[in-house]
Amino acid sequence: MFSKNNKSSARIITVFSDLDIGDLIVFKPREILPCGISDETLSLEKVGSYDYNGKSIPDFTLLHSSGLRYSAVYNTEEDTITIGNKLRRSEVISIFDENSFADIFKYGYGDFELCSISENISYQHRSWVAESYKRSATSGMAYYYEHDRRMSGVSQYEDDSQPFTYFELEGDNNVNSLSIEVWADGETDVFLEITVKANVVETFLCHA
């Protein structure tokens, strides 16, 4: 005669990969976190997907109240978050020597090392940048989807994916890295990255 409470239970986020658009991520004040992330609250604006060798990896776009955007990828096995800061071309050549940076794209270059121009690095980029980098991946092929594919996985057929070539460099401190994506039209995206343990997150707040 009396019905049970039919109200749906509130959604609870326990790990980064459970985030949905509109959710908030509150980061702890930590020295390892760069300016714009440490002690800040960011919202999840978008979820896209990378396809590396048939493995689908969600790509989270985090929005700061200032309008700045950061990419984020969660590694479930290591419980780490890799946060990316996309650079403008003018920022790339202010952090790295332009000729040395161009050598990243040379094939068979051996033990390539890229050094930053420390005296030119602005305060907002300082904690994002390592003193030097070693190339860890060159001319890899991957695909990007503009939408969330966490439920559907990777398609085996022609679809709306965007192919790109990627280059990756690891910093000398095992925290910072550099990721470069070269798209079919020649456009090149450069990301300064930092990989941290997921416990740098204070809490998650559901949007609904």
> Is the sign of the CA dihedral 196, 199, 205, 208 positive or negative?
positive
Within-domain flag for 2:
no
pTM for the predicted model, two decimal places: 0.89
Within-domain flag for 6:
no
45: left (phi > 0), else alpha (psi -120 to 50), else beta?
alpha
For 183, the enclosing helix (H) or strand (E) is: strand 176-183
pLDDT digit string, tens, across residues 112-150: 899 998 777 888 888 999 999 999 988 899 999 998 888
Amino acid 139 reads S
Number of structural domains in the chain: 1
Within-domain flag for 1:
no
Q: Residue 26 is part of which domain span?
A: 16-205
Retrieve residue 149's tokens.
């594919």
pLDDT digit string, tens, across residues 143-177: 999 988 887 765 555 577 899 999 999 999 989 99
Q: What is the DSSP code (8-state) at residue 172?
A: T
Within-domain flag for 9:
no
Within-domain flag for 33:
yes
Within-domain flag for 11:
no
Retrieve residue 101's tokens.
């940076």
Cα–Cα–Cα angle for 33, 83, 140, rounded to 5 degrees: 140
Within-domain flag for 5:
no
Within-domain flag for 40:
yes
Retrieve residue 89's tokens.
């071309």
